[in-house]
Amino acid sequence: MGKLYRVDALIIRARDFGEADKILTLYTKEYGKIQAIAKGVRKPTSRLRGGVQMFAHSRLLLYRGRSLDIVSQSESVESYGSLQEDLVRLVYASYLVELLDIAVPEREPNENLFLTTLLSLRLLLGDDPELVCRMFEIRLLYLLGYRPYLSGCMICRQVLGTGTFFLDSKAGGIVCAKCSGGRVENRISSGTIFVMQKLLSMDPRQIFRLKVSPEQRIELEKALENYLEYHLDRVVKAKKVLKGLIKI
């Protein structure tokens, strides 16, 4: 591999650096998460600028630098520009890429995750951004090897029915009320577990057909939030802002 290389990248983070530069965190199809510096992109006349905005899916030509790679050319494939026209979707998108950033280590390619992320961003423009986020969360867990066991109680093998279950982050799956030892948090009904299974197995473009009740949404959100926090060991900052904004 020469000094220049080409990547198919999603810009998941852009921090200001120096006078007019930005340090980008890219999630690439070829190399997973990498950092690169884009020089001069805060100036209006920069030729790189278009392809290095947040959430842009771009083809970039990178130059192997001594510490950080340098973006030398950029061409945007899809910019998801209309995400910026709706505050709630924008914050959901921020949440999604922050979660990705936290969850994946550097330089570990995962083409499926790359494609899932792009698809989720596109679906966020649709009618139900919340459900898209839930789908992304559970698929992220699946693709990174943290998929919760959802076919029945992990301890007594009781099959899914009408009873309630609990999502046990530590055990990595659901346990039934009897085996849970009197816990109260992360209650999850069979119906919600069914939704989780569907979110994993369905064609993502079809998920809007799922009927998810408001109670199930709350259960799903809480359970996945705790599960993600336990396995990633980090708090997603955008979540807090998201909760604050949805209220107004």
Partner 1 sequence: MFNYYPAPVARLIDELMKLPGVGPKSAQRLAFHLLNAPEKDAVGLAQSIVNARQKIKQCSVCANLTEQDPCSFCQDITRDDRILCIVEQPRDVIAMEKTREFKGKYHVLHGAISPIDGIGPEQLTVAQLLSRLQGSRVDEVVVATNPNVEGEATALYLARLLKPLGIKVTRIAHGLPVGGDLEYADEVTLAKAFEGRKEI
Question: Which parts of this chain interact with partner 1 (CB under 8 A)?
Answer: 13-14, 18, 44-45, 47, 49-51, 53-56, 76, 79, 81, 84-87, 90-91, 94-95, 97-98, 237-238, 240-242, 244-245, 248
**Minimum distance, C-beta of residue 90 to partner 1, in the bound complex (Å):** 5
**Minimum distance, C-beta of residue 18 to partner 1, in the bound complex (Å):** 6
For residues 99 and 117, the answer to whether their CB atoms sit within 8 Å is: no
**Minimum distance, C-beta of residue 157 to partner 1, in the bound complex (Å):** 41
**Minimum distance, C-beta of residue 209 to partner 1, in the bound complex (Å):** 29
CA atoms within 13 A on the CB side of 166: 17
Q: Which is nearer to partner 1, 212 or 242 (CB)?
A: 242
SS3 180: coil
Q: Which is nearer to partner 1, 184 or 248 (CB)?
A: 248
Q: How far apart are CA 27 and CA 99, in angstroms?
A: 12
Q: Which is nearer to partner 1, 91 or 141 (CB)?
A: 91
Q: Which is nearer to partner 1, 83 or 195 (CB)?
A: 83
Neighbour tally for 218: CB within 10 Å: 11
173-176 and 4-17 strand pairing: unpaired
**Minimum distance, C-beta of residue 112 to partner 1, in the bound complex (Å):** 24
Q: Which is nearer to partner 1, 53 or 189 (CB)?
A: 53
Furthest-apart CA atoms within the chain: distance in Å? 65
Q: What is the DSSP letter of 176?
A: E
Q: How far apart are CA 144 and CA 152, in angstroms?
A: 22
